[in-house]
Structure 1
């Protein structure tokens, strides 16, 4: 442990950074080493913080983002200047659009070398200024602890997001004298005024087809459960924003109101709820393009928006805006007496029935041949997975099946990029296993998505992370192929893939690997992967003509 509070110990700025991270409760940093921040790496040598060495900066950034999504404390990534920072940029963009807390430390050239086109020089403000919540360069070594503490507060406050901290190589080695770490800063969680809640109750009582849309970060078991119980009692269906499906439990004894998920992969009936609702309450989410099918649904309905910060990306009508922490607001709402309109009961029952039909994983007729039916696979997983299983995936049509069919019963059980970044699923699975070593982790990956960061399987082996990756192999970038077929039918171009034997590739990393060519063989293959107690890859061969679940 770095002892920053020993008055007889003189610290470098790099060591003080580590000491402040310890005090903030950081348990892991993810990174690829670089000569630009050697002093920080030296401080980590004796630290209580585990340094997880990734194989690519994009993988390190996604691991840190997953940690932030699962814990609420910003995940921390460390990369070097120039190329390293470029590789990590994808995680910063994802954290920005996903509203996830993230700290990215970037080693920089020495101060005296600035503006001279030095080796790997770049403008950290120019690169990250339009994407991060804040970009700061540590030019004053004595400010190291303060800068770290303020950055963590910024990343967590209001609408969460990424903060980038530039670390000039020479500044890190400067002695900061006899100094102390900073007291971690409180993160404000605004609560709604009683008058604001009373106004919303009046709107709910006048509505015949009320709808709640949940999203964002910070949901707890209590806030999610209390909201869906209240909603079930008052005949208000609850739907989730794109890839925020774990905000509330999908299944709950004693009454549940969950009615499906919006965005890519949604059922047509769930999307239709936005058009039919006469009052829409957004809790932690805004009416963005993905949620509203490209700004086409629900724009004119009476709208109440509850967000802790600015309504970034919200489109359409807003009748009441409440600046408040959404999960806390949900708890307040759950205690509010509401007399619902009689018509709401029919609306609620229809929404719930449609959701039940859409999530049923009924397999398609077996056409024979060497392909696996992904809908049937989801049916097996519904039966096999523990209630608190963490699901991860990146971007692509493979993600449509778990989004539609796999229920979430607890918070912090989904890590997937809301900005559509490919390559996140495997790094996220590594981080999820390290954050929750007692929970099962399953990653659903496309063949294209998997190989963007599949090398992090080696990181999993190195740090004892275990998960099961289902690699859906259809030999193409299926999402783009689907767009091509709609716009340029019969003219596929630039979307084909030549794939390796993914199972053999996994075994070469010391992981468990199997190829599954028949739907009937999947259950036992999954059980063998689970029993291996290793990171595992199940290579699933899919019919390239089947690109989405039905309905």
Structure 2
């Protein structure tokens, strides 16, 4: 049957069971949009390419299927770059389609012309350009497979607008399954022997590709084996926060856990590597024998020694773990219990003081009132640290945050998360600077019927940068102040629920009203600009009333 190359692209995405594409429309890929008109794939129309890319990244993070985003030529591709960089550094599967100028217009400085490979060649796993319409299905199949294979990441496909409308007689390409490496019995025996011989082993879990069964099985196994499990930065949802949980490594981590990274006599990285963030800038955890479980043969973004590299996904590795007794040896549970006790103390909220809303108290309320079935999303900035520290995770796919520190992800991610999991409460935690990076995507929630809750922490400054200025240039704050509107009124202008909260004692009732509204909701929380995140060694609890 004859069809256009653009329609074949849509048919190929259907074969890969893509449920949603996130798009900012452009005249350069009209034929693909036309193919989506009659497709079961839902087209989520976004307001900015950066927001669309973050929504697609959220799809990839929460579903395990590469997220799909479509944008137009130069300016649209430029705006989408932030999501590609995030997917690259976060190792999250993403496929970006970029409409391009006609083939005959190349190399003539045509309207919105740019070099697709030049822009994305160092920040994507592969860059394709569809010059042969007969290969439309084949390239999509290859991109979807490549994005999810090995170390997941972004793949970019350029779509010249004149190629898209050409008729082809080619059928859809077969879907290529992602190969999963299974550890050999000999590898598992070696891992068990090294764990059994260690007195202070530590597992560090992270990355994508986890599910509830994998995380739960690992934590039950670790509790019996007496091995504490820490998580990489912004990967706190890969395991349930149970008896073996030791907290997270990276920005805002507990001083006690950072010290334990050096105290351990064996490190097992599962699904992630020893990165600069995790290791306090390549300063911790480098002397210990290291076991690495990653499907990436090149061990990208892992620094330092590797004594054994097992090519495996977390799920495949956990499925063939030896008996916990064989990995425990003569070790008691004291080491694991000490780390878990440290974490429980660290995660107990304490008041911060200052004017406005006390975030130490507010996040204790969030932890208590938010349903367990939730997805928490973050952008970047100091406001996120309270959430990292005080909000627990009991299931996989309950956290989306940019591990590359990109601002502007929280809002579009929460909108997408509410579409992906309509029965869960999606909650965006963002500062005032982060919120307005992609606040426009709130409109997508109303268009699509999703109901995220957005908590905007407003201190009128770029808090992270101010904190650095106070440390390195005291008394010389520069370029870090902001003037903000009434964010709650802004949300109400869409027809959502918005409330301004200026006192700590009003936060609980405001949160309860927002959750009960059944609408996209926003709490505008004003805080003291002098208050910085709680110290990494502070363990003073909130007084219970």
Pairwise TM-score range, normalised by the shorter structure: over 0.9
For 1:440, the equivalent position in structure 2 comes to 425
Aligned match for 2:310, one of 322, 330, 341: 322
Q: How many residues align?
A: 535
1:192 and 2:169 correspond: no
Aligned match for 1:245, one of 236, 239, 261: 236
For 1:150, the equivalent position in structure 2 comes to 142
CA–CA distance in 1 between the matches of 2:402 and 2:322? 30
- Contact 2:276/2:282 (<8 A) preserved: yes
Equivalent runs, 1:186-265 vs 2, <5 Å: 186-251=177-242, 256-265=243-252
TM-score, normalised by the number of residues in structure 2: 0.97
Q: Secondary structure at the match of 2:333?
A: helix
Equivalent runs, 1:125-140 vs 2, <5 Å: 125-140=117-132
For 1:117, the equivalent position in structure 2 comes to 109
- Contact 2:510/2:523 (<8 A) preserved: yes
In the TM superposition, what is the alpha-carbon distance from 1:169 to its structure 2 partner? 0.5
1:43 and 2:35 correspond: yes
Aligned match for 2:521, one of 529, 536, 545: 536
Q: Deviations over 1:75-126 (max 9, x none)?
A: 1000000000000000000000000000100000000111000000000000
In the TM superposition, what is the alpha-carbon distance from 1:387 to its structure 2 partner? 1.6
CA–CA distance in 2 between the matches of 1:548 and 1:342? 40
CA–CA distance in 1 between the matches of 2:44 and 2:322? 41
- Contact 1:226/1:334 (<8 A) preserved: no
For 1:283, the equivalent position in structure 2 comes to 270
CA–CA distance in 1 between the matches of 2:448 and 2:334? 52
Aligned match for 1:84, one of 57, 76, 85: 76
Structure 1 unaligned residues grouped into runs of 5+: 1-6
In the TM superposition, what is the alpha-carbon distance from 1:490 to its structure 2 partner? 1.1
For 2:351, the equivalent position in structure 1 comes to 363
Once superposed, what is the RMSD of the aligned Cα atoms? 1.1
CA–CA distance in 2 between the matches of 1:192 and 1:325? 9
CA–CA distance in 2 between the matches of 1:335 and 1:20? 43
For 1:373, the equivalent position in structure 2 comes to 358
Relative to structure 1, the CA distance from residue 242 to residue 407 in structure 2 (aligned partners, 3 Å threshold; closer, same or farther) is same
Aligned match for 2:474, one of 484, 489, 508: 489
CA–CA distance in 2 between the matches of 1:117 and 1:427? 33
CA–CA distance in 1 between the matches of 2:173 and 2:451? 36
- Contact 1:514/1:537 (<8 A) preserved: yes
Q: Deviations over 1:458-482 (max 9, x none)?
A: 1111111111100000110000111
1:268 and 2:260 correspond: no
For 1:3, the equivalent position in structure 2 comes to none
In the TM superposition, what is the alpha-carbon distance from 1:388 to its structure 2 partner? 2.1
- Contact 2:196/2:326 (<8 A) preserved: yes
For 2:383, the equivalent position in structure 1 comes to 398
CA–CA distance in 2 between the matches of 1:110 and 1:344? 68
Q: Deviations over 1:142-179 (max 9, x none)?
A: 111111011000000000000000000100000002x3
In the TM superposition, what is the alpha-carbon distance from 1:545 to its structure 2 partner? 1.1
In the TM superposition, what is the alpha-carbon distance from 1:549 to its structure 2 partner? 2.2
Q: Secondary structure at the match of 2:423?
A: coil
CA–CA distance in 1 between the matches of 2:329 and 2:461? 50
- Contact 2:274/2:301 (<8 A) preserved: yes
In the TM superposition, what is the alpha-carbon distance from 1:205 to its structure 2 partner? 1.2
CA–CA distance in 1 between the matches of 2:260 and 2:196? 19
Aligned match for 2:446, one of 457, 461, 473: 461
CA–CA distance in 2 between the matches of 1:403 and 1:47? 39
Q: Deviations over 1:344-399 (max 9, x none)?
A: 422112101101100111324x55x4x11111111111211222210001000011
Q: Secondary structure at the match of 1:452?
A: coil
1:297 and 2:289 correspond: no
Relative to structure 1, the CA distance from residue 198 to residue 341 in structure 2 (aligned partners, 3 Å threshold; closer, same or farther) is closer
Relative to structure 1, the CA distance from residue 513 to residue 339 in structure 2 (aligned partners, 3 Å threshold; closer, same or farther) is closer
Q: Secondary structure at the match of 2:157?
A: strand
Q: Deviations over 1:484-508 (max 9, x none)?
A: 1111111111111111111111111
For 2:300, the equivalent position in structure 1 comes to 312
CA–CA distance in 1 between the matches of 2:486 and 2:409? 21
TM-score, normalised by the number of residues in structure 1: 0.96
For 1:4, the equivalent position in structure 2 comes to none
- Contact 1:377/1:519 (<8 A) preserved: yes
- Contact 1:209/1:344 (<8 A) preserved: no
CA–CA distance in 2 between the matches of 1:343 and 1:220? 29
1:173 and 2:160 correspond: no
- Pick which of 319-328 and 283-292 moved more: 319-328
CA–CA distance in 1 between the matches of 2:358 and 2:323? 45
1:549 and 2:537 correspond: no
Q: Deviations over 1:270-294 (max 9, x none)?
A: 2112111000000001000000000
CA–CA distance in 2 between the matches of 1:336 and 1:504? 55
In the TM superposition, what is the alpha-carbon distance from 1:337 to its structure 2 partner? 4.1
Q: Secondary structure at the match of 1:290?
A: coil
